[in-house]
Amino acid sequence: MSQYKKTALVLGAGGFIGSHMVKRLKSEGYWVRGVDLHYPEFSGTHAHEFITGDLRDVDFVKRVLEFKGDQGNFYNSVPYQYITPFHEIYQFAADMGGAGFVFTGENDAEIMHNSCTINLNVLEEQRKLNETFDGVDKGWTEAKRPKLDYQTKIFYSGSACMYPEYNQVDPDDPNCREDSAYPAAPDSEYGWEKLFSERLYLAYNRNHGIPVCIARYHNIFGPEGTWFGGREKAPAAICRKVAYAGDGDAIEVWGDGKQTRSFLFIDECIEATRRLMDSDFIGPVNIGSEEMVTINQLVDTAAKVAGKTIEKNHIDGPLGVRGRNSNNDLIRKELDWDYEMTLEEGIRKTYNWIMGEIAKDVAPTLMDEGCSTQVVA
């Protein structure tokens, strides 16, 4: 292990943010194990070892938490004394998607069951693993494990969807300060699950001493994110619609398009998350952009990037809250971090990537199920 800085376990490594985090950690000299139900959708994994499996299965979780050396030997049996915990765990795994998946109400039980089960499994099995490295002779085989000079730190990717609906009624002045979370009143079961899971990680920190840190993501977007199929979020969905539309054509937009959001480019999300993990700050803390726009303006930005005139056909559809925007006062104070990339620059990078995917003919025939205001952070 001397050639590696630390070990990291990335849960949800086949997803958008998780796959980008794997690349970042490896570039920093970490040994990385990625875990997910599937490999990344649009690129190969950069993990030293990628394990496919279901994190709702507690026995599987118990095994993925064990680091057995840097030879990629997840499937091998090794003596207990060679097994150690990871230095860091990044927990991105969740049942999620855009507004068309989250806000219809049809998937509430599935979302809450799957995500809560994963988080409970990870925390409880990590607690049990930690207890075998306390240096106390328990009179059983694992008693030979020495006390470690580090504790596994867990990052949990929360969401701005946990903020109260009553603070997000005015599209021009939403309140998403971290201290505005209570009295709790998220507008979706997805938001309630995110709030519960925040409290779960904080409880394991208080009661069992597990180091954690928590971010509330605000609409992360960029290349290699889902851009068709129903679970894509607003920037990708709109870029896709604009890409397929002809100059002067109209695309469908859910609602009146006056609802507001902010969107953070993936590279800046990863930088802020790494800075949080390298700090002693627990959070929860917002990670997002403060460049708030209407969905109509988001369409106009994508059209500008594409060099097209695009009309908007407003239709009924699930909308989420009326307004949401990150407040970065706390993260600027605690971590000296702030976003730098403009929305237009991020949309340009995303649009160009989607155009490249279209050129590969990887997408199905253009779907016309409505360009959503998908804003699940």
> Which positions are annotated as active-site residues?
190
Q: Within 10 Å of residue 207's Cβ, how many Cβ atoms?
A: 9
Q: Residue 288 corresponds to which tokens in the numbers above?
A: 């997002």
191's CB contacts (< 8 A; 6+ apart) are 159, 161, 162, 163
Could you tell me how many residues make up the chain? 377
Contact 91, 12 (CB under 8 A): yes
Give me the amino acid identity at 237: A
Q: Using CB atoms within 10 Å of the CB of residue 371, give its burial: 0 to 12 exposed, 13 to 18 middle, 19+ buried.
A: buried
Contact 224, 16 (CB under 8 A): yes
Cα–Cα dist 80/243, whole Å = 54
Contact 18, 34 (CB under 8 A): yes
Relative to beta strand 311-315, strand 250-254 is parallel
Cα–Cα dist 210/136, whole Å = 18
Q: Read out DSSP for 87-143? A: SEEEE-------HHHHTTSTTHHHHHHHHHHHHHHHHHHHHHHHHTTS----SSGGG
Cα–Cα dist 226/60, whole Å = 26
Cα–Cα dist 227/276, whole Å = 28
